[in-house]
Amino acid sequence: MGWPSSARSMTGSSPASPRSPLPYDEKQGTEGRGPACNSKPGTGAASVFIRASTDTLHRTALLLPPPVPGSFAALLLDNGQQITSLRLPKRLVGPLSAAITAAWPDGLLRSTASPAPLQGGWEWELNGWPFVQHVESRRIVFAMLQVLYAAGWAVHCSNNINKHHMAKGTIYLKAGEQCAKTFFGISFFKEDRIRLIDAPSADLRNTFIAIAKTWHKGVQEAKEKWPGCVQVKFRGTPFYTNDHMEQDMIRMLLLELMTAFDALGFELVTCIEMADFVRHEGTQPETWFFANKTRQPEGSVRSSVCHGA
């Protein structure tokens, strides 16, 4: 099934040079094509398969040596179309490039080593404007994190130390054990909408909707906004209010979501600032990135969040 066409690429292909993105049409619900569409082949040593439906798990085959324990690296979401890595091994460039092109059908405009003095840095410039696409921008991060965890790099923390209007979050990574992760996310839009992107199972998706519908003021709608993206629109303005009771009530609902997800075997890995537009910078809440808990060979379950293992 085809995905809705994107405002970024009215002719089916992106320009070879950057230009200002066309406005996003929330009423029409335009969004970029999904990973089920024909995408440009990636390069590199990894075999990366990205989820084509919400019930199909990511599978990443990486035959790479583990990193040196105690090492740190970073992944920067620089602006509307660029991603930069700092201090990641060069052998990860191929797998990460393949992950990006699998998640973003318009592919890469440029992939090159960072200029001096950023030794060990790498820059990917994507065709089009992926980071003004609400769903696909998150999918790019899902795919890259999946590769990084499989290679032994776990999220240590994330923040945004650059307050330029085009800057987004920086993900700090710590070297540790290699493990398989399936990522999905919860994002917040405008003052009253919450979205679940790429839920790995119908149970998790149904749980999300059921808990969201317990909002004390009720919901205006709960529907699949785009393939793989469920949106719930609350009554009231829970994400933009001075009412302390309403602020606490939405936090209680989010606690219920985290509790339910944890019981289903998923944990919150990190929160990343990924505002879609300049006008949303500093006002749109961070996106929550979840993943399955790490399973040891003996079958035990343990957390792998906020440290390198």
Pairing of strands 72-77, 82-86: antiparallel
Q: Considering the entire predicted model, what is its pTM?
A: 0.77
Pairing of strands 183-189, 193-197: antiparallel
Query: Which domains does the chain show, CATH number per domain?
Result: 47-175 (no CATH), 183-302 (3.30.1360)
CB-count burial class (<10 Å; 0-12, 13-18, 19+) for 109: middle
pLDDT in tens, 97-106: 999 999 998 9
pLDDT in tens, 3-12: 333 333 333 3
Distance CA 148, CA 89 (A): 11
Q: Which helix (H) or strand (E) holds 188?
A: strand 183-189
Distance CA 97, CA 53 (A): 21
Among candidate residues 129, 240, 263, 138, the one with its CA nearest the CA of residue 190: 240
As beta bridge partners, residue 86 has 74
* DSSP label at residue 117: T
Of the pLDDT bands very low, low, confident and very high (cuts 50, 70, 90), residue 228 is very high
Please provide the distance, in angstroms rounded to a whole number, between the alpha carbons at the two ends of the chain: 38
pLDDT in tens, 176-204: 999 999 999 999 999 999 999 999 999 99
Least confident of 27-31, 276-280, 286-290: 27-31
187 to 88, 92, 128: CA distances (angstroms): 27, 28, 22
Q: What pLDDT sits at residue 256?
A: 98
pLDDT at 16 over 70: no
As beta bridge partners, residue 75 has 85, 171
Distance CA 130, CA 23 (A): 13
Q: What's the Rg (C-alpha) of the chain?
A: 19
pLDDT in tens, 105-161: 899 999 999 988 877 899 999 999 898 889 999 999 999 999 999 999 999 999 887
